Chain A
């Protein structure tokens, strides 16, 4: 149950893998926000090979697709990070 309306201050951290690199990120944030905070600017390439990054932030544009734990085409803006998650940004979902 979310502790709504309560500011809890420092959030705990957890460990995820981004393109095989182990990193620590704030618990509960979205995968897109974790990647933004890590300085990942480009996600999957567009169909003609242009770098792209999240546009809408709300699951509409599909520009933030990544592979999460072997499941391709996951929208990074909709999915919270969990301990041990493996995110692959460089895959080209096409």
Chain B
């Protein structure tokens, strides 16, 4: 796929706009395009694949990913990479999405939308987590897949969830010295989860294969990192199992406590959510007519579930067809496995005690725990302390603050990603067909 250089104020018309080119988006787009729909796919990445199938141009990827990406490329769906939807409006005959494509304003007009916006990591703040060298577990995996070399680096992986195993395996394989994999969930919870995997022997075999690749490193349950230390960059971490506390000297700490659905665009469109995930029906339709959602945005379930949901959405969007019963059966099996995973890896209460009053909770605005600990809600923390008001728009800190204080995330407003003023001030952003105008937006901001 050759990168397409966008002219300013380009208008792209489609039947279906798919937001996100991970497994769910790719399956949705391929299945819809194969049925004659004009499909456009918008993704932050420069290549289709999303995070789980992130790869280098000409680089190696798993067979299932290669098959789906090649099917997607043959389907006729159009891919707009290095691009983000910054605003969206319902129109009488569809939607108007304002897209920042490498700094160019592009208007994507589509009859239906399929949200495949994926997930991000849940970070729980602790002293020192802002030091260079501390990164997400998925973040390390993303860097590795993008060509970073961890050879010879001393790495601790501490957090929760099944993502830790493949990341430990690929880091060890790439030459990193994985000194510890610390799973905060208890031994009992992890054993119960492993026992439940007998129903999916392929997942068990996969887990065993990953574990075999970092056998020389300890995998400790009921263990977590309480602080990171260093001057200007990470030098060591403090680890505890609740009884014993010790230090590990490290170059890299990978941290993360599971995944958070990306629902900002869904919320902007007005789709209903529950427990932070987009609510969908048996055809993957949200509460808004003509907006569908698949994959992690509808609840964390993994790539195989996202693929099935994408096939369902792509084969039913814009037509009065029910999804095939084999697809809906596979979806329900994968969904029940996902639920038991979420129960196992719920972050323990002790993690709420990690931040001190001087611990930065919002990295964009350097807001400390002490500045927000008495706030009664996310909005108050934003208005009084600027937590969540920086470039990431609270995507990094707010899920962690929700965990610490049981706040509900605040509402979203456009632009839902930072974008140059030139995009917001472009003719298409202010055209008659779009309800959005930079003047009304500025007005809203001061109301």
Compute how far the CA of A26 lies from the CA of B133 in the bound complex, rounded to whole angstroms: 22
Chain A residues positioned under 8 Å from B63 (CB to CB) = 5
On whether the beta carbons of B103 and A71 are closer than 8 Å, the reply is yes
Say whether A2 contacts B363, CB under 8 Å.
no
Q: How far is the CB of A12 from chain B (nearest CB, A)?
A: 10
Interface hits, B330-387 → A, CB 8 Å = 360, 363-366
Q: How far is the CA of A3 from the CA of B59 in the complex (A)?
A: 7
Binary contact track A58-71/B, C-beta < 8 Å → 1, others 0: 11111101000001
- Given the complex, which residues of B lie within 8 Å of A34, measured CB to CB? 147
B233 touches A33 (CB 8 A): no
- Residue on A with the closest CB to B252? A36
Interface residues of B in 108-152 (CB under 8 A from A): 120-121, 123, 130-136, 138-143, 146-149
CB distance from B399 to the nearest CB of A (A): 11
Q: Name the CB-closest residue of A to B69.
A: A4
Q: Indicate if B211 sits at the interface (CB-CB under 8 A).
A: no
Contacts of A56 in B (CB 8 A): 120-121, 135-136, 138-139, 142, 396
Say yes or no for A42: interface residue by CB 8 A criterion. Answer: yes
Whether the Cβ atoms of A65 and B233 lie closer than 8 Å is no
Known: A37-B148, A79-B82. A62 touches B364 (CB 8 A): yes
Q: Cβ of B146: which chain A residues have Cβ within 8 Å of it? A: 29-30, 32-33, 57, 77
A21 interface hit (Cβ, 8 Å): no
B130 with A2: CB separation less than 8 A: no
The count of A-to-B residue pairs whose CB atoms sit within 8 angstroms is: 153
Within the assembled complex, what's the spacing in Å between the Cα atoms of A28 and B59? 9
* Beta-carbon contact of B142 and A55 below 8 Å: no
Q: Cα distance A58–B396 when bound, in Å?
A: 12
Which residues of A have CB within 8 Å of B360? 50
Please, which residues of chain A bring their CB within 8 A of the CB of B418? 62, 73
Cβ–Cβ < 8 Å partners of A71 in chain B: 103
- Interface contact A61-B392, CB-CB below 8 Å: yes
Complex alpha-carbon distance, A29 and B140, angstroms: 14
- B4-12, B23-31, B40-48, B220-228 - the one binding chain A: B40-48
Does residue A24 face the partner (Cβ distance < 8 Å to B)? no
Closest-CB distance, B166 to chain A (whole angstroms): 15
Contact of B45 among A42, A51, A78 (CB under 8 A): A78
A26–B147 Cα distance when bound, in Å, is 8
Which residues of A have CB within 8 Å of B364? Answer: 46-47, 62
Is the CB–CB distance between A46 and B148 below 8 Å? no
Does A80 touch B at the CB level, under 8 Å? yes
Bound-state CA distance A41–B63 (Å) is 34
B275 in the interface (beta carbon within 8 A)? no
Q: Are A2 and B365 in contact (CB under 8 A)?
A: no
Residues on A with beta carbons closer than 8 Å to the beta carbon of B65: 4
B132 touches A53 (CB 8 A): yes
Report if B391 contacts A (CB, 8 A): yes
* Chain A: CB-nearest residue to B84: A59
Complex contact B66–A54 (CB within 8 A): no
Which residues on B sit within 8 Å (CB–CB) of A52? 130, 132, 363
- B57 and A63 contact, CB distance less than 8 A: no
0/1 interface trace, chain B 57-80, chain A, CB 8 Å (1 if under): 111111101100110010000000
A55–B139 Cα distance when bound, in Å, is: 6
- Please give me the residue from chain A that is nearest to B65 by CB atom: A4
- By a beta-carbon cutoff of 8 Å, the part of chain B in contact with chain A is 1, 44-47, 51, 55-63, 65-66, 69-70, 73, 82, 103, 120-121, 123, 130-136, 138-143, 146-149, 232-233, 360, 363-366, 390-392, 395-396, 418
Chain A interface (Cβ within 8 Å of chain B)? 1-8, 11, 26, 28-30, 32-34, 36-37, 41-43, 46-48, 50-63, 65, 71, 73, 77-80
Which 6 residue pairs across A and B have the least CB separation, nearest first? Answer: A29-B147, A57-B142, A53-B132, A57-B139, A4-B66, A30-B146
A-B contact pairs, 10 of them (CB 8 A): A6-B60, A8-B59, A28-B147, A32-B146, A47-B365, A51-B131, A53-B233, A57-B139, A57-B146, A80-B46
Since A2-B57, A50-B130, A57-B142 are in contact, a sample of 19 more A-B pairs with Cβ atoms closer than 8 Å, ordered by chain A residue number, is A2-B1, A3-B58, A5-B63, A8-B58, A28-B59, A29-B147, A33-B143, A33-B147, A42-B233, A46-B364, A51-B232, A54-B143, A55-B363, A55-B396, A56-B120, A57-B135, A61-B396, A62-B392, A79-B82
